[in-house]
Amino acid sequence: MSKVLIVDDDVTFCMMLEALLRKHSYEVEHSYSYADGRKKLLAFRPDIVLTDLRLVDHDGIEVLQLVKREAPEVPVILMTSYGDIRTAVSAMKHGAFDYVTKPVSPDEILATIHRALNFSAGEGADVSEQAKDDAFIEGESEASLKILEHTALVAPTGMSVLIMGESGTGKEYVARRIHMLSQRSEKPFVAIDCGALPRDLAGSELFGHVKGSFTGAIADKPGQFELANGGTIFLDEIGNLSYEIQIQLLRAIQERKIRRVGSTAEIQVDVRIITATNEDLKQAVARGDFREDLYHRINEFAIQVAPLRDRPEDMLQFATHFLAGANRELSKNIRGFAPQVIEIFSRYSWPGNLRELGNIIKRAVLLSKGDLITADTLPDELAEETGAIRQEEQPAAERPVHEIHPATEDADLRETSRRSEKELIVATLEKVRYNKSKAARILNVDRKTLYNKMKQYGIPLQ
């Protein structure tokens, strides 16, 4: 019987997860703090550790580092409500086996634990190395080569970098590459979507808070700057920060000190700042929406990421990358693209850039019945804009096949066009036999959003 140690300060969640694991014949111990988790690690000697990213006294990265010191053979899975691939990269760098987001799907957590235990027994592939290899795709166009050159030049320095480009062009990829090539690569990479930060909680999220500083602050919590200490913090869509937060951010950059919400104590931090925007910050400065002194602080070196429509030479390479990832996630084996699809892709304007390309390919893989993606699996707007006429699939012998190689990438339901959204949801639900949790995970939305979409489109809940 395998032994699992859960370290999580959410008592209700901890008990539910413990009950699930015991039901599947695991021996389970739980801890609600780093300190108790350390004692249990030594006394219980688990085969695997599940830890929340945020704890009352420490964070999950520190639990991970503790396990790597005391029991390096024990795999660690991180769990967090702040989940995205950004934090996963940091966790992988510190040696985590894998990373799951809350609310945790029972099927997902059980499968992840099973893989981790098999891996620790000598089976399976090196997940962390694969994740790092899959994280980067490099284009061949002049614009892509220029980005690679600039990232290689600025990465070893300590300069603040401003990455500019339209939404979906891969600005975070550039930021992550800079970090991985820098002297801080062994330290955390923490990414924040400033556009998603609630105005009244932005300060707490970035700089932390102390217990009782506001309603709901039931314990001291470190902010993202503290979690990124020694590493890199990436602030995406920085133009969305309020003027007040801009002032605090400027102080953090200039003095390398932060102050948690509700505290008078200063905390020394050492982080490299990389920011990104899809708007003209110079115009925001001129309007008085963005501080000029902050603009100059974050813009020591600027990188412009070209939109996908200006990188046609990269189209097939990126498409192949997304196809491989969709194949793995959806358990399909689509071999490539029909010639008409490649023609449509080359003529489409791609307003959503790489993110849109990934979404469309994922949808097409889900809908495909043959071994190639054909034009009839693409959203109508592609055919309408490019003037393409949908044709019956050619015989396999007449079709050139664009073979693919393994890669991985996230897709996002929110970017899928409205006209194809219902069809995608229905197809996903049918594939997973109306398992809402699994469908929500594939579509990259929470269960509540999925239920709302089903209600909106009149899809039966079953």
In this structure, of 99-113, 133-147, 255-269, the range with the lowest mean pLDDT score is: 133-147
pLDDT digits (tens, 9 = 90+) for 1-49: 889 999 988 888 888 888 889 988 899 999 988 888 889 998 999 999 9
Domain 142-306 identical in fold to domain 309-457? no
* CATH number given to 3-133: 3.40.50.2300
pLDDT value at residue 402: 46
Could you tell me the fold of the domain covering 309-457?
Answer: Helicase, Ruva Protein; domain 3 (1.10.8)
Is the alpha carbon torsion for 281, 283, 286, 288 positive or negative? negative
pLDDT value at residue 87: 60
- For residues 93 and 187, what is the distance between their CA atoms, to the nearest angstrom? 8
Residue 131's pLDDT band, with cuts at 50, 70 and 90, is very low
Note if the bond before 460 is cis, omega within 30 degrees. no
Query: What's the whole-model pTM score?
Result: 0.58
Could you tell me the fold of the domain covering 142-306?
Answer: Rossmann fold (3.40.50)
Residue 287's pLDDT band, with cuts at 50, 70 and 90, is very high
- For residues 184 and 93, what is the distance between their CA atoms, to the nearest angstrom? 11
Examine the pLDDT at 121 and tell me if it is beyond 70. no
Examine the pLDDT at 410 and tell me if it is beyond 50. no
Residue 365's pLDDT band, with cuts at 50, 70 and 90, is very high
- For residues 363 and 383, what is the distance between their CA atoms, to the nearest angstrom? 15
- For residues 428 and 180, what is the distance between their CA atoms, to the nearest angstrom? 35
**Mean pLDDT, residues 201-216:** 86
pLDDT value at residue 324: 87
**Mean pLDDT, residues 411-416:** 39
Domain range list for the chain: 3-133, 142-306, 309-457
Give all strands of the β-sheet with 189-193 in edge-to-edge order: 189-193, 232-236, 272-277, 161-164, 301-304
**Mean pLDDT, residues 225-243:** 92
Greater model confidence, 215 or 257: 257
Phi, psi (degrees; rounded to nearest 5) at 232: -125, 140
**Mean pLDDT, residues 162-174:** 92
pLDDT value at residue 397: 41
Examine the pLDDT at 319 and tell me if it is beyond 60. yes
Helix boundaries (H) for 56-164: 60-70, 85-93, 106-120, 127-134, 142-154
- Lookup: tokens for 196: 């998603």
Q: Are 346 and 395 in contact (CB under 8 A)?
A: no
DSSP assignment of 146-168: HHHHHHHHHTTS---EEEE--TT
Q: Are 51 and 78 in contact (CB under 8 A)?
A: yes
pLDDT digits (tens, 9 = 90+) for 428-439: 787 777 777 777
Question: What residues contact residue 287 under an 8 Å CB cut-off, 6+ apart?
Answer: none
Greater model confidence, 119 or 141: 141
Strands 98-101 and 76-80: parallel
**Mean pLDDT, residues 300-315:** 92
Examine the pLDDT at 129 and tell me if it is beyond 70. no
Residue 282's pLDDT band, with cuts at 50, 70 and 90, is very high
pLDDT value at residue 408: 35
**Mean pLDDT, residues 326-341:** 89
Greater model confidence, 352 or 58: 352
Residue 78: C-alpha distances to residues 5, 50, 59, 410 (Å): 12, 6, 10, 18
Greater model confidence, 420 or 384: 384
Q: If you average pLDDT over every residue of the chain, what do you get?
A: 81
**Mean pLDDT, residues 368-382:** 90
Q: Among 392, 325, 399, 403, which Cα is nearest to 365's?
A: 325
